[in-house]
Amino acid sequence: MSVTVGRATEEEITEIYELAGVNREEATGIPFENHKEEMIKAYEHSKKFGAYFLAARIEGQLAGWVQVDKSTDWISGKEIGWINDVYVKKSFRCKGLASSLLRQAVEELKEMNYDEVRLNVYSSNEQAIKLYEKMGFRDLNKFMKLDL
């Protein structure tokens, strides 16, 4: 199995947009008819500020992706590296692709002189949390809710 990770091509970005929303529903466990449109809006917003996709490919086929982005720490105002939307297609899972994508994203953010990288993950997404912790990410804060 030959895996490559690099910037997504226009063809791959088209496929990512076609699959937009599937990833959000899987990550949150919440069915929602506008997931696709909302994800595309988020991708396009981030793209305006320099975000881009890295694609994992197996034998030339898009197997997964991550969006490399930036953000601002809302307390200190410091610009930080940000990782959006880590996703591996179901048929390609358990092959280490998410780890490969994350390692490459972190490396590229490091090359851009960021000294900190953050991401969001839903507390119910235990598999993703285990992966992020294995890669050295740690809890920074918690968002909490109260259903009324």
Q: Provide CB contacts within 8 A for 119, sequence distance 6+.
A: 82, 83, 84, 86, 132, 137
Residue-level pLDDT at 34: 76
What percentage of residues in the chain have a pLDDT greater than 90?
75
Q: Provide CB contacts within 8 A for 5, sequence distance 6+.
A: 54, 55, 56, 57, 100, 101, 104
Q: Which helix (H) or strand (E) holds 86?
A: strand 79-88
Residue-level pLDDT at 27: 78
Residue-level pLDDT at 124: 85
Residue-level pLDDT at 23: 79
Residue-level pLDDT at 21: 83
pLDDT beneath 50, residues of the chain? none
Residue-level pLDDT at 131: 95
Q: Which domains does the chain have, with CATH numbers?
A: 3-135 (3.40.630.30)
What is the number of residues in the chain?
148
Residue-level pLDDT at 31: 72
Residue-level pLDDT at 87: 94
